[in-house]
Structure 1
Amino acid sequence: MGNFGKVLEFHLKEQFGKKGFWIGIIIPVIAIIGFFGFTHFKSDGEKDAIAIVNKGTTYQVSDNAMLGNLKEDYEFKFLKGNQVSKAELGVKDGDYEALYIIDEQSGKPVLEQRYEFTPPASVTTVLQGTLQQQYSAKVSTEQGISGDVLKELQTPITIKDTVLDSDTDDKPTGVVWVFVFTMYMFILMYGIGIANGIVGEKSSRVMEIMITKVKPITMMYGKIISNMLVGLANILVILASFLVVQSLGWADSMALDFIDVSGFTVSVTLLFILFFLSGFMLNGMIYAALGSLASRSEDIGNFTSPLMMISLANFFLGMMTMGNPTASYITICSYIPVLTPTLMFSRYLMGSAAGWELALGIVIIIVTTLLLSVIANRLYKRGVMKYSEKMSWKQVFGMMKKESIKG
């Protein structure tokens, strides 16, 4: 344990001493806090402008009182008919979010909306409803319909909502999204880092000196765990940045428009960390074992390409879990050891995996990790001292069958 502690301390100092690590920490923090701070102060008290042009005389929206609660979010500019071209330029320049032109054809109101991207749906709905009321009042007057009858005809129908049990309703999809993306990015990034570090030690012949002092297996686990702790530190710093933004009142529970992070309860966060660490350990051993087989950095891709395909499978299947967590292929894949950390956690949060399945997933990860450790130990011990230009997969499988040398 003494040698392992020294190796782990060495690799941690090496990782935390790199400029790249601190750049990778500082840039996301500045980006997160800066983005939310900018949007908060930029939008504070500022309303989007909407231009309204009344071309006709029968149907008009020329009073803010007609626009109700929309005034809280928008500032309305009422322009004359000869100012349409000027208003269009304002939309293109970003002065107006949209331009609405109210006209009349064959005695009926016509609402035209001009915009660059998408019109504000709430404004369109209110203007449409206002013009519909004006048209109904005009017709009722012409037909001699009393106001009471017209009011009765305009009474909205009753809508009853019955929410049936859904696979995705009221589920922490935001947490699943963050977990799947985090697993993909950090395992890919730090997994390659593990392999590159081992190849760098081999190519510089440092490995030949180190192996006389420390067992190869100790070096392998020291490198894996140090990268795992650095990755975890990155995650915690990013999460802390979101907490700072939220505590400052610059953002609510919606960290992004499509990610609701309110599902990060204490229990979910602990499970998040557990499955992240176990998934990283499982993948890290494979990266370390395969990285030890490469003698040059150019050869790393030949050995790690299957792992990249597995990472992509984890990412896409994890994303699919949010939309269809009960799919049979998702359930089956969640029991494949290299996919279990991502898919079992995602299925559990989405409600398609019971507690016993989650426990079984943890057992699968532990058993697989122990079995992989035997293979990884054997490959690493023999691979770190092998300097052949190229190594075929046939040779790799042959090394797995041979007795491991004493380290």
Structure 2
Amino acid sequence: MREFWIIFKQAFTSKAKAKSFIITTLIMMVAIFLLANISKIIDTVQDMTGGEEEEVLHVVDTSGVLIDPLRAQLETEESGIVVKATEESEQELTDKVTSEDIDSFLTLSVDEQGTIHANYTTMSMMDFSLPGRIQDALQSIQTEMKANELSLSGAQVQTLFTPIQFEQQNISPSAKSEEELNTARVLVYVLMFVIYFSVIMYSSMIAMDVANEKSSRVMEILISSVSPVKHMFAKVLGVGSLGILQIIIYGITGFIAFKTSATEIPGGFSDFFSLKDVSPSTLVYAAVFFVLGFFLYATLAALLGSLVSRTEDVQQMIMPMTLLIVAAFIIAATGLGNPEIGYLKYASYFPFFTPLVMFLRVGLLDLPMWEPLLSIAIMLATIFILGWFGARVYRGGVLMYGPSRSLKDIKKAIQLGKE
């Protein structure tokens, strides 16, 4: 076991001390703090750049009766829009918009039926907020005009918009409240990304590390003093432990960042990522499926990495593995809106899809205990089989040199390992 722990320590410390690992970790920690304080940053930038300045809206009111109500309505809503009447023609205003002398203008009129017609002109392709606020204000004015025309009081008008009392009752054993479902959906989506990117990044790291040792002929020295099987699992566990440590660092950083940036405003950014409505079992399953998913793909990556002699061939060799995790992510993502889709149930028992798909289901549904436990058992069996098979391939693969042609090299590696 001494050799095992030496390789384990070397795999862990060499990556942990690498400048790329340290810089990436620091950048991600800074990014997490920036994300947690994004609302404060936006407010600060707006204050510095004058983002809160009032917007001037040039209005051509051909009816002569709408501009004052519109101004009053926008002031009541505190929209930050200043209504400015103008006698210029539409063509003159259009020319000013084209030359960017003004941002936009509005033309108002009323037809014989008392219906308001508004034409908003702008050059901005992303101008959606301002016309939306103007439309809402004009709709309120239209409602008030129609109410006066029908001699309706304010109370009578309000009764026209009284919402119905609608309640939904779900007797399904897997049902959750809308609040619980929304919170769980956000958490599941975030953790799915964590699992997805971690598996791709750390698995590629293992495959690249093995291929790099082969290309530098270091492997020939290593296997003379330690068995290839010990070398393989020491690599997997060493890089895996480093990956888990990095995720824990990100988790602690995120917890501190969101706690220190929490505001009293309900429905704010902190509430969006709140864990108060998340079942503890969901967090436990997230950890379990992350660890199992990592070691499943890491073992496969070590197997594939042992087949190549040049680091340039690593990405091509692990492409099938990458496609598996991408397919798992796509399938899981399709179930965020409806986790009860039939094919998700079957996909959740396929070991290479289980870490994402089964986690999606346990996060959004109250499944019977046997379902996640069965998927965990299938994954453990798959890791054991893949480890046994991978050890046989690895034993011969580390001795293979020359250009890697395809996955057909697995057969050659097994035969070489027997010798």
TM range (shorter): 0.7 to 0.9
Aligned to 1:383: 397
Tell me the TM-score normalized by structure 1: 0.83
Q: How many residue pairs were aligned?
A: 394
Contact 1:50-1:99 at 8 Å conserved across structures: no
Question: After superposition, what is the alpha-carbon deviation per residue over 1:308-356, rounded to whole angstroms, capped at 9, x for unaligned?
Answer: 1101111101101202312221111111111111111111112174322
Alignment map for 1:270-289 (pairs within 5 Å): 270-289=284-303
Aligned to 2:246: 234
Question: After superposition, what is the alpha-carbon deviation per residue over 1:167-213, rounded to whole angstroms, capped at 9, x for unaligned?
Answer: 99442111221122222222112211111110110111111111222
How many Å separate the matches in 2 of 1:155 and 1:91? 45
How many Å separate the matches in 2 of 1:104 and 1:307? 64
1:196 alignment partner AA: M
Aligned to 1:11: 11
Contact 2:262-2:270 at 8 Å conserved across structures: no
Aligned to 1:119: 129
Q: Once the 2 structures are TM-superposed, how far is the Cα of residue 403 of structure 1 from its aligned partner?
A: 7.1
1:59 alignment partner AA: L
Task: Give the alignment partner of residue 45 of structure 2, picking from 42, 46, 55.
Answer: 42
How many Å separate the matches in 2 of 1:87 and 1:42? 31
1:18 alignment partner AA: A
Indicate the larger mover: 28-37 or 269-278. Answer: 28-37
CA gap of 1:100–1:169, structure 2 versus 1, over 3 A, is: farther
1:184 correspondence with 2:184: no
Indicate the larger mover: 124-133 or 195-204. Answer: 124-133
1:198 correspondence with 2:203: no
CA gap of 1:76–1:244, structure 2 versus 1, over 3 A, is: farther
Task: Give the alignment partner of residue 290 of structure 1, picking from 287, 293, 304.
Answer: 304
1:152 correspondence with 2:163: no
How many Å separate the matches in 2 of 1:70 and 1:61? 14
SS of residue paired to 2:261: coil
Indicate the larger mover: 223-232 or 357-366. Answer: 223-232
Contact 2:206-2:301 at 8 Å conserved across structures: yes
Task: Give the alignment partner of residue 57 of structure 1, picking from 64, 74, 90.
Answer: 64
CA gap of 1:109–1:403, structure 2 versus 1, over 3 A, is: closer
SS of residue paired to 2:33: helix
CA gap of 1:94–1:256, structure 2 versus 1, over 3 A, is: farther
Q: Once the 2 structures are TM-superposed, how far is the Cα of residue 239 of structure 1 from its aligned partner?
A: 3.4
CA gap of 1:61–1:361, structure 2 versus 1, over 3 A, is: farther
How many Å separate the matches in 2 of 1:47 and 1:265? 41
How many Å separate the matches in 2 of 1:338 and 1:200? 26
Q: Once the 2 structures are TM-superposed, how far is the Cα of residue 223 of structure 1 from its aligned partner?
A: 1.7
How many Å separate the matches in 2 of 1:134 and 1:316? 51
SS of residue paired to 2:67: coil
SS of residue paired to 1:78: strand
CA gap of 1:6–1:101, structure 2 versus 1, over 3 A, is: farther
How many Å separate the matches in 2 of 1:378 and 1:218? 12
SS of residue paired to 1:322: coil
CA gap of 1:190–1:79, structure 2 versus 1, over 3 A, is: same
SS of residue paired to 1:112: strand
Aligned to 1:223: 235
| Gaps in structure 1 of 5+ consecutive residues | none
1:374 correspondence with 2:388: yes
Contact 2:71-2:82 at 8 Å conserved across structures: no
Aligned to 1:175: 187
1:108 correspondence with 2:122: no
CA gap of 1:87–1:254, structure 2 versus 1, over 3 A, is: farther
SS of residue paired to 2:314: helix
How many Å separate the matches in 2 of 1:233 and 1:91? 56
Question: After superposition, what is the alpha-carbon deviation per residue over 1:54-101, rounded to whole angstroms, capped at 9, x for unaligned?
Answer: 624222345776348732xx31212112478779978997997x7655
SS of residue paired to 1:174: helix
CA gap of 1:335–1:60, structure 2 versus 1, over 3 A, is: same
How many Å separate the matches in 2 of 1:340 and 1:54? 61
Alignment map for 1:82-97 (pairs within 5 Å): 82=87
Question: After superposition, what is the alpha-carbon deviation per residue over 1:265-306, rounded to whole angstroms, capped at 9, x for unaligned?
Answer: 644333212211110000000000111011122332443121
How many Å separate the matches in 2 of 1:275 and 1:89? 60
CA gap of 1:13–1:169, structure 2 versus 1, over 3 A, is: same
How many Å separate the matches in 2 of 1:18 and 1:353? 43
Contact 1:4-1:219 at 8 Å conserved across structures: yes
- RMSD of aligned C-alpha atoms? 3.6
2:30 alignment partner AA: I
How many Å separate the matches in 2 of 1:41 and 1:125? 29
Q: Once the 2 structures are TM-superposed, how far is the Cα of residue 48 of structure 1 from its aligned partner?
A: 6.8
